């Protein structure tokens, strides 16, 4: 089993709506079920507000993870399991809503932070473009 790659801090966003910053991380997990325990350990270390994951589905399999398997305590789950699959997690204490698009293999949500909306928070598998 390949080890989970380095979690990439892709943004710490600070302004009046998020004075302490909005900590966001992304990683390609290359099959979620094999890496869930390691991912949770890293989440506990870095305490991100938003998590983006790509390639959550196994490469050559007819099954996909269920929402129950993808759930992480303390986070709202937004997922698109088309293709290899993309997932967004947003901390429960943040107001968020899933945005539905026709983009394949991506998942989108909107966040409200003290009156400011962060629109188009999304994750998409690199190299996959499609409508």
Over residues 78-105, the pLDDT tens digits come to 988 888 888 899 999 888 888 887 777 7
| Mean pLDDT of the residues in the chain | 75
Q: Looking at the whole model, is its pTM more than 0.75?
A: yes
Q: What is the CATH number of domain 8-123?
A: 3.60.10.10
> Does residue 61 sit in helix, strand or coil?
coil
Percent of the chain with pLDDT over 90: 11
- pLDDT tops 90 at residue 71: yes
Q: Tokens 């983009």 identify what position? A: 103
- Which residues lie closer than 8 Å to 52 by C-beta, 6 or more apart? 10, 24, 25, 26, 27, 86, 87, 88, 122, 123
């Amino acid at each position: 089993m390949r080890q989970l790659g380095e979690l990439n801090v892709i943004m710490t966003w600070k302004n009046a709506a998020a004075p302490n910053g909005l900590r966001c991380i992304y990683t390609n997990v290359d099959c979620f079920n094999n890496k869930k325990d390691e991912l949770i350990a890293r989440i506990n270390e870095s305490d991100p507000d938003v998590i983006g994951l790509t390639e959550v589905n196994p490469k050559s399999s007819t099954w996909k993870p269920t929402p129950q398997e993808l759930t992480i305590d303390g986070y709202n789950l937004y997922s698109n399991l088309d293709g290899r699959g993309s997932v967004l997690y947003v901390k429960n204490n943040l107001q968020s809503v899933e945005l539905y698009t026709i983009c394949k293999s991506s998942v989108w949500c909107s966040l409200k932070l003290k009156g400011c909306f962060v629109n188009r928070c999304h994750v998409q598998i690199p190299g996959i473009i499609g409508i």
